[in-house]
Structure 1
Amino acid sequence: MHTVMPDCDTRPNAGGALIAARTADAVASGAPLGRIGNLEVRLARNEAEIAAAQEVRYRVFYDELGARKDLFQAQDRRDADRFDPLCDHLLVLDTSLPGPEHRRIVGTYRLLRQEIATAAGGFYSEGEFELTKLVARHPGHRFLELGRSCVLKEYRSKRTIEALWQGIWAYINHYNIGVMTGCASFHGIVPAAHAEALTYLAHHCRTDSAWDVRAVAGRYCSMDLMPIEAVNAKAAIAAMPPLVKGYLRVGARIGDGCVIDHEFSTVDVFVVMPVKEIGARYVNYYGGEGQRFAA
């Protein structure tokens, strides 16, 4: 997962049956899940909107952040992979913009539910972290993987983030999601460049044993990169990407180890958010809108 505020897998696609089952769902029809001013959040309604979301991702991940592109990506100017047909695509649209709706998309999140991932051969983030083991330890919870989060530069504001969270909250209520997971990214491929922030996460923000997730063998990099007594907490938090800080605010915890993603030029950490552990003030803040739109 590669995220701005901003995710090497070769397993075969799951096929049309899963896609048909997903798109037949009422929520996937694209009714609004939240609104803040001229910003509306909902799921993509058609292939044109998914393609437009992929174009937004390309502008952020490739044009802005310098991810490595192949020939087809460079020609299409879209960030796309085999998981896109399996996912719901959460969109933020600026309804004040002219033109067709798919040209009003200013932000997006990719959502992959456990039942779809299981039938398709796994989650995206399993290429980096041992998510399957975590899921197996919690058979009573339904998992949701969040990924490919990005917002166009001119829309990176509190309002846009709140709109996305309205949509996520409506979605997890509708599908009775128990745990949200996914990767969050630090820019660049040198963990030591983020030593203070990563060390702080390793010592103060780790999951407990029940929710622990480790980076996969062969890709594990330690986050404990400097003496903890040398870490300035305020500086460490300030150095974290906004998305990481946002997840921590709502009660998320971080898994064991980080992974270097050379394709996207990022250092990825794993985020675990049991819904019941989300801070009460955030539940109250987003819950009213989320419950209303999820009904």
Structure 2
Amino acid sequence: MELAARAETIREAQALRYRVFGQELGAKLKTAQSGLDLDEFDDYCHHLVVRETKTGQIVGCTRLLHDINARRLGRWYSESEFDLGSIRNLPGRLLEVGRTCISAECRHGSAIAVLWSGIASYIHLHGIDYLFGCASVPLGDQDHLAAAVMSRLRHQAMATQHLHVTPRSPLFNSQAPDNLLDTPIPALLKAYIRLGAKACGEPCRDPDFNVADVLMLLDVDQLNPTYTRHFLDRAGPNSMYRGPAHLNSA
């Protein structure tokens, strides 16, 4: 696990994102370079990557946008889908997590746990107060799968009203049939919930990925202590810092 300190490492992560998002999931990527998933946010983010021990290949990655760099850029990545007024007004340090992916052959292993260990270490070392990001839910036929997952979230992990955000392309009039009410919660969304994160209202339709995105918010003071200790112990002291990766000046 490491924070990318070289352009070559970032390109490896962008190539993994392209393979997972573009080739495997069939997303319509707005990218200017064949074989890479890239955008202007990449230059403002820290890129956290996980390598397979034997091959050295990157098998998992996510990118972290610190509020210092979000101010330099002028916006958050999630603002393309949500009005983030309630998030912007939160006190303290904010961190946005996005573009998370794991290669197909490693999804049943420890890669996602290692990635979350790195995020937990970053939160601890940078004094982050709130973490947020989008977690995707499959739409299903007539949006029924998304409706089923949202029904569970409303009962299990919904933020209070003052923290809700407004989706720019909301889902409408979708009721989950009874046979889908026990639909499993997707892995990334489940990881957020286990940490103590809450859904900030209704999801946004993402036509490029054919999913519904839910904005998840984690108050670091409310972190599930069991998972926090597990992730920090797994990461070890300063484990991700194999090379310099500095925040841009405010």
- The two structures have a TM-score, normalised by structure 2, of 0.86
What residue in structure 2 maps to residue 192 of structure 1? Answer: 144
Distance 1:201 1:114 in 2: 27
Q: Which residue of 1 aligns with 2:82?
A: 129
Alignment check: 8 A CA contact 1:108 1:149 kept: yes
Q: Which 5+ residue runs of structure 2 have no aligned equivalent?
A: 242-250
Write out per-residue CA displacement over residues 148-186 of structure 1, whole angstroms, 9 at most, x where no aligned residue. 000100011341122111111111111101111010112
**Corresponding residue of 1:213:** 165
Tell me the equivalent position of 1:50: 10
Q: Is the 8 A contact 2:59 2:103 kept in 1?
A: yes
For the pair 1:260 / 2:205, whether they are aligned, the reply is yes
Structure (1/2) with the larger helix percentage: 1
Q: Percent identity?
A: 32
Spell out structure 1 runs of 4+ moving beyond 6 A: none
Aligned ranges for residues 78-157 of structure 1 at < 5 Å?
78-97=36-55, 104-136=57-89, 138-139=90-91, 141-157=92-108
Whether the 8 Å CA contact 1:142–1:176 is kept in 2: the answer is yes
Q: Deviations over 1:253-279 (max 9, x none)?
A: 101111111122221111011111111
What value does the CA root-mean-square deviation take over the aligned residues?
Answer: 2.4
Please state whether the residue corresponding to 1:157 is helix, strand or coil. Answer: coil
CA–CA separation in structure 2 for the residues paired with 1:224 and 1:276: 34
Cα separation, partners in 2 of 1:52 and 1:199, compared to 1, 3 Å = same
- Aligned AA (2:227): Y
Q: Aligned partners of 2:31, 2:98: CA distance in 1, in Å?
A: 23
CA contact (8 A) 1:173 1:291 kept: no
Structure-1 residue corresponding to 2:245: none
Residue 175 (structure 1) aligns with: 126
Q: Using a 3 Å threshold, how does the CA distance of structure 1 residues 115 and 69 change in structure 2: closer, same or farther? A: closer
1:202 equivalent among 148, 154, 158: 154
2:44 maps to amino acid:
L
* TM-score normalised per structure 1: 0.74
> Is 2:19 the partner of 1:59?
yes
Q: Is the 8 A contact 1:93 1:107 kept in 2?
A: yes
- Deviation of 1:223 after TM superposition, in Å, equals 8.5
* Residues 108, 150 of structure 1: 8 Å contact kept: yes
Structure 1 unpaired stretches of 5+: 1-40
Q: Does residue 269 of structure 1 match 2:214?
A: yes
CA contact (8 A) 2:86 2:164 kept: no
Structure 1 residues 232 and 153, CA, compared in 2 at 3 Å: closer, same or farther? closer
Q: Given residue 47 of structure 2, which amino acid in structure 1 is its aligned partner?
A: H
After superposition, what is the alpha-carbon deviation per residue over 1:51-100, rounded to whole angstroms, capped at 9, x for unaligned? 11000001100111011146844xx2111111011100000011311xxx
